[in-house]
Amino acid sequence: MNNIRKSPARASFQEHLARRIVCVVLGVLFLFSGVVCLYADRMLSQINYAAQDTPSHVQTGELFGGVNGKSNGTSSAKSGLVGGLYHDDAINNILLLGVDDYQKNDIGRSDSMMMVSVDSRHSKLKLTSFMRDMYVAIPGFKSNRINTAYSDGGGGPDGAKLLVSTLEANFGTDIDRYVIISNSAFDQIIDMLGGVTITLTAGEAKLINQNSGDSRRNLTAGTFNLSGKQAHYYSRIRAIGDDFARTERQRKVFSSIVSKLKSSNIATIYSTLYEVLPLVTTNMTKNEILGMAANSLTYLNYPISQNRVPGDSDYHSERVSIGGSPADVLVPDLQKCSQNLASFIYESDIPDKQYED
């Protein structure tokens, strides 16, 4: 084969062209990175942040998607007891609070309490509903229904803090962060997502038609895309199945939201977050939220498992006096509830006492 030698001028021209192409590509990448950073900073600045009363038990990167939003696996993640509570660095427990603050000058109560466990150790999303009628000890207050802890604490971040302390004290699992969703924000969030797909019974459809406040009253038994108002009322139905079925409906709404976001690209997810985040209050930091968002497509594709506290055989019904009036409540078997919650979240990797702070 003949050796073909490039002339010095031609070689110089090609090297110059290559350098120009590299410079253009790098310039575009840096410009894109700058736009993303500006967009993310603008998005994160709109969140209602609550101060953290205590520092995180582990490094932010380990809890929320790895260093700089990149998962670093679970090989170095530790598990054990932190402050006497079950904790695993590879599992992030976030408490979602739906607050019924719809009455004027009423801070409301935690109408729905659902813990979302982002389990990187087992690659699962786990939903645990805490039933509002559980009668438990509230730190610093008399025993009462668990949903009163939010109002006993004064609502807002202080109320959420007391509710977290109540759940931890009674059920023994560390709750890393919380997110408060006001009554009015729920409808807006669902509508921003374009509604949620839910399969209704005839009874549920009838109640939604009559009471949701949505002008569309054509629901029947079957699968429909519900608006914010319709999904909101669906999540609060107690006339069918009482609070047991009610908490299951709330988990179905959350699962439907996840299913919808699964088919979205990262730009759509960031756009949705941009609209939704100003409507919530959280004690997560900017870096934690950014880390979660960066790994959202991974987390959204985790299979979803569901749980409820108390379980079917983990409580007994009782009539007690609350504020001088008789009230029907659920009295949980705290030992059974704690064991079953730990088994659900940590599976066979239930933390032991080797990691105590």
**Peptide bond between residue 55 and the one before it cis (omega within 30 degrees of 0):** no
Task: Tell me the pLDDT band of 21, cut-offs 50, 70 and 90.
Answer: low
**Residue scoring higher pLDDT (11 or 88):** 88
d(CA 212, CA 215): 9
In our burial notation (b when 16+ CB lie closer than 10 A, e otherwise), range 212-237 reads bebeeeebeeeebebbbbbbbbbbbb
Per-residue model confidence (pLDDT) at position 273: 72
Task: Tell me the pLDDT band of 287, cut-offs 50, 70 and 90.
Answer: confident
Per-residue model confidence (pLDDT) at position 110: 81
Angle at 40 between CA 37 and CA 42, to 5 degrees: 105
Task: Tell me the pLDDT band of 349, cut-offs 50, 70 and 90.
Answer: confident
pLDDT digits (tens, 9 = 90+) for 133-156: 999 999 999 999 999 999 999 988
**Spatial CA neighbour of 178 closest among 100, 270, 125, 116:** 116
Per-residue model confidence (pLDDT) at position 8: 55
Average pLDDT score over the chain: 81
Per-residue model confidence (pLDDT) at position 174: 95
**Residue scoring higher pLDDT (83 or 153):** 153
pLDDT digits (tens, 9 = 90+) for 237-246: 888 887 788 8
- pLDDT score of 308 more than 70: yes
**Spatial CA neighbour of 110 closest among 58, 68, 156, 54:** 156
d(CA 215, CA 208): 11
pLDDT digits (tens, 9 = 90+) for 28-70: 444 433 444 545 666 677 778 887 765 444 343 445 554 333 3
Per-residue model confidence (pLDDT) at position 245: 87
**Residue scoring higher pLDDT (213 or 267):** 213
Q: Read off the pLDDT of each residue in 63-86 and give the average, rounded to a whole number.
A: 63
Q: Read off the pLDDT of each residue in 289-296 and give the average, rounded to a whole number.
A: 81
Instruction: Assess contact for 206 and 240: CB atoms under 8 A.
Output: no
Instruction: Assess contact for 342 and 350: CB atoms under 8 A.
Output: yes
For the entire predicted model, the pTM comes to: 0.79
Q: Read off the pLDDT of each residue in 223-249 and give the average, rounded to a whole number.
A: 88
Per-residue model confidence (pLDDT) at position 19: 57
